[in-house]
Structure formats: structure tokens, C-alpha cells
Chain A
Amino acid sequence: MRWSAPRLPSRSTVSKVLMDGNSAIAEAAIRAGLRCYFGYPITPQNELTEYMAMHLGRKKGCTFLQAESEVAAINMVYGASLVGARAMTSSSSPGISLKQEGISYLAACELPAVIVNMQRGGPGLGSIAAAQSDYFQATRGGGHGDYRTIVLGPSSVQELADMTMRAFDLADKYKIPVMILGDGVLGQMKEPVEFKREAPEITPTREGTLQGAGGGASRIVKTFTSNPSELEEINWSLFRRYQLIKKNETTWDTYMTDDARLVVVAYGIAARIARGAIKSLRAKGLKVGLFRPVTLWPFPDEPLRELVKNVRQLLVFEMNMGQMIEDVQLALAGKGEVSFYGRPGGVIPAPDEVGRVMSRLYYQKGLK
């Protein structure tokens, strides 16, 4: 059987190409100056790894390596990041669990890296269908210790491309691992996408990284210490950076919220589904809108508090049993009224189904 490689979109003439989400992430990463990709096969993100094998591996000064495990892959990312290379790995839910050890070390040692999680149904081996069941794991750090990672929640192929580029910039700016929290649908579906950067001819190396001591003093990258107060200071210094990230990088999006009486809070592919439902309900005269966190950590709690000054009824919709709803409730601290609709396990509801839930709630709460 002959296997033909996906063709790299021309980097000069074509502005928009039709691409699946996984490949779009890979292409965007290469254009963002990715130098090292380490991966391991897992559905539904294999197109990403395969695209890297085809297009990154032969690029000058770049490395594609299929690791022996998820654990090895993330530790290779750690090694490449130590010496200043833009490095990434990608996986799906069960594989991301295995990467948590390495993510904790990256966070501890203040090393930039990009990690893609194209979520699938869990727990356990779960299913290979799209889900949003790793929200807790992603937004609470995920591994051991007191840390956070920046988490981006794309909801279209275009956003996957844009956020991949943003992820590398954020990772370098704040010396932090950044996770792109996608899902199986986003990874597999094809949409027109425009890449907003040309791939650099020479891939840059970050400054201030380990390169051997040269003629100067040697440096150590580590967190381990036998002195707890030393580690406490490391933790506080990380925390201060997290506060800065909250202040500068919190991002969200709204759709038809201006006159809305009921607002759906959803991210990623769930937000995309909700948007379809909102369009139909608007045509029937229901004043509904969408609030979409774009950064899942930091969570946009201030904008959400602003929103409930005008809208009392919120419906949190997630493809899980209720995870982001906890952040919504924390943000609102009892203000407004929060309902929930969720489908776990990899079941993807159609916009009509979500529309019916919204419509029922709309009438129950006497908003008509």
C-alpha cells in the first residue's frame, strides 16, 4: 500500500487551505519556529505526529522523534527546552496523564514547552471520541506540586493554528508550559485555515539557556533542595508570575450577549455547538448568548462577574459531568443562577439538543 504525505500548503501564494485540526497545529508550530517535536501514537491526534514526521524531521536543525512512551516524550521536551529549543509534544487524554510528571518538572524548572491534548472520553482507556473530561487535570496543574500551566481552549481549526503560535510565545514570555486543550472533533475536522506567519528559515534558540559553561561559571537548573524555605521561595516566585499571567493574558469571547437573558458558558467544541443552537433560537426570538472562556487557565472570572450584572441566568454546557462549572461558580460567588447541561463519555450532542435544553430553561425561568 502506498501512503502519500499530506501536502504542505504553499508558504507563499495560498492564503487559505483546507486542513484537519491536527495537521493545522503541526503546520502552525513549524511556522512558530518549533525545533523539536517528541510524540507517541494515540488516537485522535495521530495526524499531528505524522505531519511532524513528514515536515519537521527533514527541516534543517530540527528534530522529529517518535519516543518509546509518553513519559519519555515529555522528558525529551524537557531536555530540548533546557538548551533553548522551541519544543512540543502532543497526545490525548490517557497519554496526557503519563506526561504529568514531566509537565510538573517543566513548571518547576521554569521551562517553556507546548503540550497539546486532543481530549477523548475517559476515565481509563475510555473512548476515542471527543470529550472535555480533562478540564480539571489541565487547569489545576495536573501533576504533583503547586503549579499552573496556561491552558488555551480553541474552538475551530483556525483557532488551533492561531493558538499554537500564541502558545509558543506565551511559553517563552512566561517560561511556563502551555497546554492547548482541544478535542477529537477539532483534531479530525477539516476547515479553511490561514497561517498568519511564515516559517522562519533559521529556527531561533532562546537566550539564557544551558549551553555548557563555556569559559564562565556553570549553571544549575533544578528545584530540589533540602531546605524547605528555599523551595517556598521558588513557589512564591512562580505564584507571582501566575498573578501576572492572570492580569495580562486572560482571554474570552462573547456572542450575542448584549441583550441576552440567558447566556451559555462553554468552551472549545462545546461552545461551537452552543453557538449553532443560539443562532437557531435567536431566529425564534429568544434572547440567548454565549460566553466563551478562551484561556481556561487563567479563567476569565472578572468578565464573567461583569456579565452577571446584566444577565441572571447562566447555563454551563460541557462535554463532561461538570468541571468548568466549578470555576464559573467560584467566579460568581453566589451571584446569578447557574444551571448545567453535560454529556460525558465522548457523546457529542447536536446543536438542536443543546437548543432544546436552552429553550426549556428559558421558559422555565420565565424569561419570555
Chain B
Amino acid sequence: MKLIYTRPESLKKAAFHYCPGCGHSVAHRLVCEVIDEMELRGRTIGIPPPGCSVFAYNYFDVDMAESAHGRGAAVATGIKRACPGIIVFTYQGDGDLAGIGTAETIHAANRGENITTIFINNAVYGMTGGQMAPTTLSGMKTTTTPYGRDPATEGRPMRMSEMLAPLEGVAYIERVAISSPANIRKAKKAIARAFRMQIDNRGFSMVEILSPCPTNWKMTPVQSWKWVEEEMTRVFPPGVYKDVTEPENAG
């Protein structure tokens, strides 16, 4: 009998605490599969953020260290500068990366820090109960935009991949979506590509993952996956925004 699907070695044997339909567990698994396949487990350090995925260290079976909200890129910079041989990834949400940690993210990217960022964009602050995030869609209702996000007073959603891609220190940026098996396979390829950039010392790499949050979106898991596919991708189009190894995408 041929074994075709099993738990990745880098994923601990623990039950996820995430809500049904949440994108985190899928994203965790994809990162772990990549770490296994690229044989990086022994020399990887992961930086989870405050938020729902703060408990990532209960699931990733690699060395993990907590970071203050938004400071993942700075912490990763410190690790990578002190020990260039270590593979460092940050796992950050939209409030973390695009809100409180915008400065750390932009400057790490601009310096071309040789780190990999897994950016989970679910358009809300999840753990705190569904408040408006920098990536909340215009008109979208959240607990702090109960009448819908009004671009006139709250601005429009921040597109981090588009914003970071032109920086010269950036090696690779791709936006993917957890919305279908085909797209999940694409997401895994993007994650592998991002880690490859780091191994090859190319500079900053990031995969932005559009990720469902059925609980705070007040949807069923199926509705939320459909919403990612149909609504989020209109504002956040998936695709490769930078790839320094492909001349036509070099930005």
C-alpha cells in the first residue's frame, strides 16, 4: 500500500484550536509540508504573532519564539543577522503586519532582510473579536465598523503585496488564496518558492494568503471560502507580484 497523505513531521500531534473553516490550520500545514520537503526543520526558527495564531508554537514542531505585536520582521532581523545560517520565518496577520507593524515590515523588506514572511490576510482582527483591520474591505461590517467600512473616514484596504513589491530589497512576493483545493496547492508552491529565496540569499520574501475567518465574518465555512474566492480576490488579486529570478516579474 502506498502512503500518499500523512501528518507532516514538522506539525505536532496536537488538535488545532482554530474555528471550523479557519484558514490558519491549512496555512500551518502547508508551511510544515514545505519545511519537511525542503528538510529545513533542524535549522528553522518561526516567529508567531499575537492573535489567534499566537498558539502556532503549539503546532509547529520547529523552534519558535513569541514576538510583540507587529515586531516579527524586527525580531527575525535580529535572529538572521546574528545567525545567518538559520532559516527564519514570521507568521503574521493583517493587523500585525499591515497595521501596528507596518514600519518594521517595510524596512525589513527594504533592507532585503533574508527572511520569509507568511502573511495571513483575513480582513479582520480575529482573536480580539472581529474588529476592522487595515485590509478590511470597503463597506465591510466589523465590530468597529458596524455600519460598514467607510473609505471617506476609514480609508480603503491596504494592499501590502503591491506596496512592498517595488522595494529593491524584495526578492519574492506572491498573493494566494485559501479558497479551493487548487488554490491551496498554488499556496504551497508559493510558500516553497519563498523559502527557496531565503535559502539562496535573495532577500525578503513574502506570501500573502487570503484566508477565511468564518466566525468573525459570521458565515459558514463554505460561505467564507466562497467569499474569499469571489469578494476578497477582487480587491486583493492573487498572483506573483515580484520574483527576482524571473526577469519579467522582477519589478
Interface residues of A (CB under 8 A from B): 35-36, 38, 63, 65, 67-69, 71-73, 75-85, 87, 101-102, 105, 109, 210-215, 218-224
B71 / chain A contacts, CB cutoff of 8 Å: 71-72, 75, 78, 101-102
B50 / chain A contacts, CB cutoff of 8 Å: 224
Q: Tell whether, in the assembled complex, residue A212 and residue B75 are in contact, meaning their CB atoms are under 8 Å apart.
A: no
Q: Tell whether, in the assembled complex, residue A221 and residue B107 are in contact, meaning their CB atoms are under 8 Å apart.
A: no
A219 / chain B contacts, CB cutoff of 8 Å: 63-64
CA distance A67 to B110 in the complex (A): 12
Task: State how many angstroms separate the Cβ of B170 from the closest Cβ of chain A.
Answer: 16
B86 / chain A contacts, CB cutoff of 8 Å: 83, 211-212
B54 at the interface (CB under 8 A from A): yes
B60 at the interface (CB under 8 A from A): yes
In the complex with contacts A80-B79, A83-B79, A211-B83, A75-B42 CB distance below 8 A? no
Q: Which of these, A76, A109, A218, contacts B74 with CB under 8 Å?
A: A76
Q: Tell whether, in the assembled complex, residue B75 and residue A75 are in contact, meaning their CB atoms are under 8 Å apart.
A: yes
A38 / chain B contacts, CB cutoff of 8 Å: 78
Task: State how many angstroms separate the Cβ of A321 from the closest Cβ of chain B.
Answer: 32
Q: Report B58-84 residues with CB < 8 Å from chain A CB.
A: 60-68, 71, 74-83
Task: State how many angstroms separate the Cβ of A139 from the closest Cβ of chain B.
Answer: 22
CA distance A220 to B62 in the complex (A): 8
B158 / chain A contacts, CB cutoff of 8 Å: none
**Interface size of B in residues (CB-CB distance below 8 Å):** 34
Q: Tell whether, in the assembled complex, residue B82 and residue A35 are in contact, meaning their CB atoms are under 8 Å apart.
A: yes
Q: Tell whether, in the assembled complex, residue A213 and residue B63 are in contact, meaning their CB atoms are under 8 Å apart.
A: yes
Q: Mark B119-140, 1 if CB is under 8 A from A, else 0.
A: 0000000000000000000000
Tell me the nearest residue of chain A to B87, going by C-beta: A212
B74 / chain A contacts, CB cutoff of 8 Å: 67, 71-73, 75-76, 78-79
CA distance A101 to B79 in the complex (A): 18
Q: Tell whether, in the assembled complex, residue B63 and residue A72 are in contact, meaning their CB atoms are under 8 Å apart.
A: no
Q: Tell whether, in the assembled complex, residue A83 and residue B82 are in contact, meaning their CB atoms are under 8 Å apart.
A: yes
Find the residue from A79, A85, A210 having the highest chain B CB count within 10 A.
A79
Q: Tell whether, in the assembled complex, residue A222 and residue B104 are in contact, meaning their CB atoms are under 8 Å apart.
A: no
Tell me the interface secondary structure of chain A in the complex.
mixed
A81 / chain B contacts, CB cutoff of 8 Å: 78
In the complex with contacts A35-B82, A102-B71, A213-B42, A218-B61 CB distance below 8 A? yes
Find the residue from B41, B66, B83, B104 having the highest chain A CB count within 10 A.
B83
Q: Tell whether, in the assembled complex, residue A220 and residue B65 are in contact, meaning their CB atoms are under 8 Å apart.
A: yes
B107 / chain A contacts, CB cutoff of 8 Å: 67-68, 72
Q: Mark B39-65, 1 if CB is under 8 A from A, else 0.
A: 001111100001000100100111111
B240 at the interface (CB under 8 A from A): no
Tell me the nearest residue of chain A to B47, going by C-beta: A79
CA distance A151 to B68 in the complex (A): 23
Tell me the nearest residue of chain B to A63, going by C-beta: B81
Q: Tell whether, in the assembled complex, residue A214 and residue B42 are in contact, meaning their CB atoms are under 8 Å apart.
A: yes
Task: State how many angstroms separate the Cβ of B113 from the closest Cβ of chain A.
Answer: 10
CB pairs A–B below 8 angstroms (19 shown) = A36-B81, A67-B107, A69-B104, A73-B74, A75-B75, A79-B80, A80-B79, A102-B68, A105-B66, A105-B67, A105-B68, A212-B43, A212-B45, A212-B63, A212-B86, A212-B87, A213-B42, A215-B42, A220-B64
In the complex with contacts A105-B68, A218-B63, A224-B66, A78-B42 CB distance below 8 A? no
Tell me the nearest residue of chain A to B44, going by C-beta: A212
Tell me the nearest residue of chain B to A61, going by C-beta: B82
Q: Which of these, A75, A78, A83, A215, contacts B83 with CB under 8 Å?
A: A83
CA distance A194 to B119 in the complex (A): 50
Task: State how many angstroms separate the Cβ of B109 from the closest Cβ of chain A.
Answer: 11
Q: Tell whether, in the assembled complex, residue A221 and residue B66 are in contact, meaning their CB atoms are under 8 Å apart.
A: yes
Q: Tell whether, in the assembled complex, residue A75 and residue B78 are in contact, meaning their CB atoms are under 8 Å apart.
A: yes
In the complex with contacts A212-B43, A214-B42, A215-B42, A77-B66 CB distance below 8 A? no
Q: Tell whether, in the assembled complex, residue B64 and residue A218 are in contact, meaning their CB atoms are under 8 Å apart.
A: yes
Q: Tell whether, in the assembled complex, residue A63 and residue B82 are in contact, meaning their CB atoms are under 8 Å apart.
A: yes
Task: State how many angstroms separate the Cβ of B176 from the closest Cβ of chain A.
Answer: 26
Q: Tell whether, in the assembled complex, residue B61 and residue A213 are in contact, meaning their CB atoms are under 8 Å apart.
A: yes
In the complex with contacts A36-B82, A85-B82, A87-B82, A65-B64 CB distance below 8 A? no
A72 / chain B contacts, CB cutoff of 8 Å: 71, 74, 77, 103-104, 107
In the complex with contacts A212-B43, A213-B61, A223-B66, A79-B79 CB distance below 8 A? yes
Task: State how many angstroms separate the Cβ of A59 from the closest Cβ of chain B.
Answer: 13
Tell me the nearest residue of chain A to B77, going by C-beta: A76
A-B interface, 10 closest residue pairs, ranked by CB to CB distance from nearest: A79-B78, A75-B74, A212-B43, A76-B78, A68-B107, A85-B82, A222-B66, A221-B65, A75-B71, A79-B75
CA distance A299 to B60 in the complex (A): 43
CA distance A87 to B81 in the complex (A): 11
CA distance A237 to B104 in the complex (A): 32
B64 / chain A contacts, CB cutoff of 8 Å: 218-222
A221 / chain B contacts, CB cutoff of 8 Å: 64-66
B60 / chain A contacts, CB cutoff of 8 Å: 218
A78 / chain B contacts, CB cutoff of 8 Å: 67, 71, 74-75, 78
Tell me the nearest residue of chain B to A77, going by C-beta: B78
